[in-house]
Amino acid sequence: MKMKYLLTVFAATVVAGALHLFGLASLNRTLGLVLLVLGLILSGTLVSGNQQRANYYQDQQAPARPKLSYVLVLCCALPFLIISFFR
């Protein structure tokens, strides 16, 4: 499981570094912010407590699905944001 996160961060770092080398820093920032917002939406941080409770009880009845899929999106967003803000 941890290897998946490391590979995601490595791939995102390579892509972000390549974009930076080609002078596409604004695309780095845009991709990082879009992935960050997408990760926050998928994690449930940007929804109300009522929706979180409803989703929690609904998920107990539904078949199991990966609940930590948003972590991959957030791991992918970090290299883009780090390179774009600390260049």
Give residue 84's pLDDT: 81
pLDDT tens track for 13-27: 888 888 888 888 888
Tokens of 57: 């009880």
Q: How far apart are CA 75 and CA 8, in angstroms?
A: 7
SS3 59: helix
Range of the domain at 57: 1-86
Q: What is the pLDDT of residues 28-72, one digit of tens each?
A: 888 888 888 888 887 777 766 666 666 666 666 655 555 667 778
What does pTM read for this prediction? 0.69
Torsions phi, psi for 37 (to 5 deg): -65, -40
Domain count, the chain: 1
Residue 30, pLDDT score: 87
- For position 67, what pLDDT does the model report? 62
